[in-house]
Amino acid sequence: MNSNVLVRRPTADEVAAFWEDGVVCLRGVLDPAFVLGMAPAVDRLVREAIGGTMYDMSAMGAEIAGSGGDVLTGGRRGRGRFVSGTDHWRVDADCRAFALNPGLGEIVATVLRTHKVNLWEDSVLVKEPDTAERTAWHQDLSYFHVSGEQVCTTWIPLDVADAETGAMSFVRGSHRWRGQYRPNWFVSNVPMPGTEGEVIPDIDALAASGEVELVQFALGPGDMTVHHARTLHAAGGNLSLVRRRRAISLRYCGDDAVYHFRPGAPRKPHHEFVREGDVLDGPDCPVVWRA
């Protein structure tokens, strides 16, 4: 895959916005052909959803609802489904080449103000047309067995993503809140069992009362967002009856990141071989870019 994917580098103002707001929208930083070149891989992963590295989140939501749990559908029933997964880079050559692309690493290094960038994981997230399930408010760091300030998530769309199709919303400045929030099941506010921390407050109510400010960006291929791992964010369902919402999310760490294990959060197989406080370098968190 072509490593010359950069159309431009983040500006000083964009870097400052990331650290001030906890999220930045980088428009036109990537070659759209590079991004759209991942469409066959993403579509293949969706076809192989059950039994592969993807999970049917709509089916999981139905299970939660069947056991009496709250599922975020807004009272709708859609014909589409929400599928997602992680760590495709470990088993898929196309995903590996994309996640380890040094051009992406350079963008992240600029934003994080770091001398090196390690891959934590990749993720594919697809909401088909008429998908009711919303993505719950959550904080990525709650799921990561890592600590540090230089930890972020990128979100790269393969389709135009807007309010109708479920573009992400972010709580401006929430990366500076000191609370540690419990991870949930993404389509439900129900916390994962055995996890520690506070339950995420009712962000929608706080936004309606003006106590927090939400930001949302309409994006297309070539654009991306980068948000801090502590920034609270969520996404709506896909209300469009014809448009898909496919995206690749890459989670990266910088100089100050070390392993830090969080009770109850899902672990990766290699975590049994590392210890609290270890640096991330190694084949399971490879270096993507180094100054």
pLDDT of residue 120: 98
How many folded domains does the chain comprise? 1
pLDDT confidence of residue 3: 53
Q: Name which of 52-61, 129-138, 190-199, 239-248 the model is least confident about.
A: 52-61
Confirm whether 134 is domain-assigned.
Answer: yes
Residue 153 pLDDT level (bands cut at 50, 70, 90)? very high
Beta-sheet pairing, 245-253 with 116-127: antiparallel
Whole domain around residue 168: which residue ranges? 12-267
Distance, CA of 106 to CA of 4 (rounded, Å) = 11
| Residue count (the chain) | 291
Strands (E), 162-286: 168-171, 214-216, 224-228, 232-235, 245-253, 258-259
- Percentage, residues of the chain above pLDDT 90: 85
Prediction pTM value:
0.95
Q: Is residue 278 assigned to a domain?
A: no
- Confidence label for 268 from pLDDT (cuts 50, 70 and 90): very high
pLDDT of residue 51: 61
CATH code of 37's domain: 2.60.120.620
- Which H or E run includes 21? helix 12-21
d(CA 36, CA 33): 5
Residue 69 lies in a domain: yes
2 pLDDT exceeds 80? no
Q: How large is the average pLDDT for residues 194-210?
A: 96
Separation CA 81–CA 35 (nearest Å): 23
Q: Is residue 235 part of a domain?
A: yes
Lowest mean pLDDT among 43-52, 96-105, 113-122: 43-52
Instruction: Flag whether 107 is in a domain.
Output: yes
Q: What is the pLDDT of residue 116?
A: 97
Residue 281 domain-assigned (yes or no): no
Residue 1 in this model has a pLDDT that exceeds 70: no
